[in-house]
């Protein structure tokens, strides 16, 4: 099939977290609503309603700055469980039109509706139908981009936000895309953009009309890919199941921490959380890593690979603790700490190697315990049961006990 005959839709919800909160509490409608962490914990803005954006508030901005810009804003914490639930409903609507749904984040997905057109009408009709269902069933608005490849569809969904619908047909590439600034290209971050702009390449059209060999010379293979994409060539398929490559948790401290036993206690909680996510996602991992960021923002990552795949807390935390003890000097202040498990596999794809010489009964007991805890937490919510850590502290002489 001609690459330009594909019908690719990109959908992105408008001010997602904030819109969900406004929907659920009518008093918030029409008001500047800002979702994010707390000022005390050096939190950042997750998102802001469009009303709040007029004050200059945007995602990733420190919460303290948001308060300065918009002192009368309504500030709310992030309620991930709720947004996950709504996300599943949104994805459910997409799946009524095609199985070819690639979720990019909670509020964003690509749909390949090429084949769906025989059943549901033209791609435009499908796009509008999806917007309509999101509106009538979920009382939220989405912006839809329609084109013949992923790059253009994503660009399109952003052109008419909020509550938008925008189409880029093959013959419209020059008129609609080429005048846009080169920064709107995927893969063109701050540095690349500066480099290109320094050479007088300001628009996507100028990039498209450059000599491809020259671009390759300047930017390497990435330059060639950018040249193709700017000319409307992007054959990446919509990939329905995206395997997550790692599961990680990290935390930034309100004040730097320089005590090993405190840091290990935090790592304990993070590791427990990561393992819980692995188990509820049906995944196991083999590579365990820790990340330490110092007050000057220098970060180190240290990893170890285990002999077998696991989602159990004990082997993960054992590895984390070893990594910490090998790489951290007690007393050094730390700004952020994190735990990640990677080299993931689906549970049912793992062939267990029986441990001929070791004591497997402990492993089985651990797995059973983890399973029971997850079940209780799933039924009664959140953290009904969690692991107790031996309490450590300092006695009155300042000695660890």
Query: 40: left (phi > 0), else alpha (psi -120 to 50), else beta?
Result: alpha
Instruction: List residues bridging with 8 in a β-sheet.
Output: 112, 147
Contact partner, 47, from Mg ion, ligand TTP, none, Cβ < 5-8 Å per class: ligand TTP
x-or-dash pattern for Mg ion, window 94-113, by CB under 5 A?
A: -------------x------
Contact 160, 17 (CB under 8 A): no
Nearer residue to Mg ion within complex by CB, 13 or 319: 13
Active site residue 108: yes
Give min distance, CB of 157 to Mg ion, in A: 9
One residue of 11, 13, 177, 274 binding Mg ion per CB under 5 A: 13
Q: Least CB distance from residue 17 to ligand TTP, whole Å? A: 4
Residue 15 found at the interface with ligand TTP (CB under 6 A): yes
Instruction: Kindly tell me which of 16 and 151 has the beta carbon lying closer to Mg ion.
Output: 16
- Bridge-based pairing state of the strands 33-36 and 74-76: parallel
CA pair distance 170, 173, nearest whole angstrom: 6
Torsion of CA 49, 53, 55, 56, to 10 degrees: 140
**Cα–Cα distance, 153 to 167 (Å, whole number):** 8
Decide: is 35 part of the binding site for Mg ion (CB under 5 A): no
| Residue 60 lies near ligand TTP (rule: CB under 6 A) | yes
Candidate list 13, 207, 267, 319; residue touching ligand TTP; CB under 6 A: 13
75 binds ligand TTP (CB under 6 A): no
List the one residue from 12, 112, 234, 264 that touches Mg ion (CB under 5 A). 12
User: Are β-strands 33-36 and 45-48 bridged in parallel, bridged antiparallel, or unpaired?
Assistant: antiparallel
User: For residue 172, what is the DSSP state?
Assistant: G
Contacting ligand TTP (CB under 6 A), which of 8, 10, 12, 324? 12
Of residues 89 and 392, the one with the C-beta less far from Mg ion: 89
Exactly one of 7, 17, 140, 148 binds ligand TTP (CB under 6 A); that residue is 17
Query: What is the β-pairing status of strands 165-167 and 142-147?
Result: parallel
**CB-CB contact of 290 with 327 (8 Å):** yes
β-strands 334-346, 246-257 pairing: antiparallel
Q: How far is the CB of 3 from ligand TTP (least distance, A)?
A: 27
Around Cβ 315, how many Cβ atoms within 10 Å?
A: 17
* Cα–Cα distance, 364 to 164 (Å, whole number): 53
The DSSP secondary-structure symbol of 236 reads P
Cβ at position 109, least distance to ligand TTP in Å: 11
CB of 20 to Mg ion, least distance (A): 11
Q: Which stretch binds ligand TTP (CB under 6 A): 8-16, 22-30, 110-118, 119-127?
A: 8-16
Q: Give the HSE-up count for residue 396: Cα atoms under 13 Å, Cβ half-sphere.
A: 0
List C-alpha distances in Å: 150 to 35, 161, 347: 29, 18, 31
Residue 47 in contact with ligand TTP, rule: CB under 6 A: yes
Q: Name the residue nearer to ligand TTP (CB basis): 160 or 228.
A: 160
In 3D space, the residue among 217, 289, 269 whose CA is nearest the CA of residue 386 turns out to be: 269
Q: Which of 14, 100, 112, 272 binds ligand TTP (CB under 6 A)?
A: 14
Among 22, 46, 192, 340, binds ligand TTP (CB under 6 A): 46
Whole-number minimum distance, CB 143 to Mg ion, in Å?
A: 8
Counting every residue written for the chain, the total comes to: 401
Q: Which of 108, 243, 264, 352 is catalytic?
A: 108
162 binds, among ligand TTP, Mg ion, none (CB under 5 to 8 A by kind): ligand TTP
- Segment holding 304, helix H or strand E: strand 299-310
Please report, as ranges, the residues that interact with ligand TTP according to CB under 6 A.
12-17, 46-47, 59-60, 107-108, 161-162
Catalytic residue ranges:
108
């Amino acid at each position: 099939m001609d690459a330009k005959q594909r019908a690719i839709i990109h959908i992105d919800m408008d001010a997602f977290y904030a819109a969900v909160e406004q929907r659920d509490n009518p008093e918030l409608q029409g008001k500047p609503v800002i979702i994010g962490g707390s000022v005390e914990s050096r939190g950042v803005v997750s998102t802001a309603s469009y009303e709040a954006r007029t004050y200059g508030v945007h995602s990733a901005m420190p919460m303290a700055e948001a308060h300065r810009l918009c002192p009368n804003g309504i500030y709310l914490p992030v309620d991930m469980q709720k947004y996950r639930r709504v996300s599943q409903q949104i994805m459910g609507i997409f799946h009524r039109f095609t199985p070819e749904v690639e979720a990019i984040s909670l509020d964003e997905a690509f749909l390949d509706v090429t084949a769906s057109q025989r059943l549901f009408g033209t791609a435009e009709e499908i796009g509008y139908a999806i917007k309509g269902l999101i509106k009538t069933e979920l009382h939220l608005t989405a912006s839809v981009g329609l084109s013949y490849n992923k790059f253009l569809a994503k660009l399109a969904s952003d052109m008419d936000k909020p509550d938008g619908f925008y189409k880029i047909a093959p013959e419209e590439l020059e008129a609609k895309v080429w005048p846009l600034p080169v920064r709107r290209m995927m893969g063109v971050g701050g540095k690349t953009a500066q480099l290109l702009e320094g050479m007088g390449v300001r628009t996507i059209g100028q990039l498209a009309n450059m000599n491809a060999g020259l671009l390759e010379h300047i930017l390497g293979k990435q330059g060639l890919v950018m040249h193709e994409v700017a000319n409307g060539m992007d054959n990446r398929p919509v990939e329905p199941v995206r395997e997550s490559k790692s599961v990680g948790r990290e935390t930034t401290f309100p004040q730097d921490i320089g005590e090993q036993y405190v840091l290990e206690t935090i790592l304990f909680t993070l590791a427990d959380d990561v393992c819980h996510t692995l188990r509820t996602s049906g995944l196991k991992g083999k590579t365990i890593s820790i990340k330490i960021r110092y007050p000057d923002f220098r970060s180190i990552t240290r990893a170890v690979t285990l002999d077998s795949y696991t989602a159990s807390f004990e082997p993960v935390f054992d590895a984390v603790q070893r990594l910490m003890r090998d790489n951290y000097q007690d007393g050094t202040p730390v700004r952020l700490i994190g735990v990640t498990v990677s080299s993931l596999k689906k549970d049912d794809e793992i062939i267990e190697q029986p441990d001929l010489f070791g004591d497997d009964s402990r492993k089985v007991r651990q797995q059973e315990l983890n399973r029971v805890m997850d079940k209780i937490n799933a039924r009664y919510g959140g953290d009904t049961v969690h692991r107790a850590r031996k309490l450590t502290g300092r006695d009155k002489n300042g000695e660890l006990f």
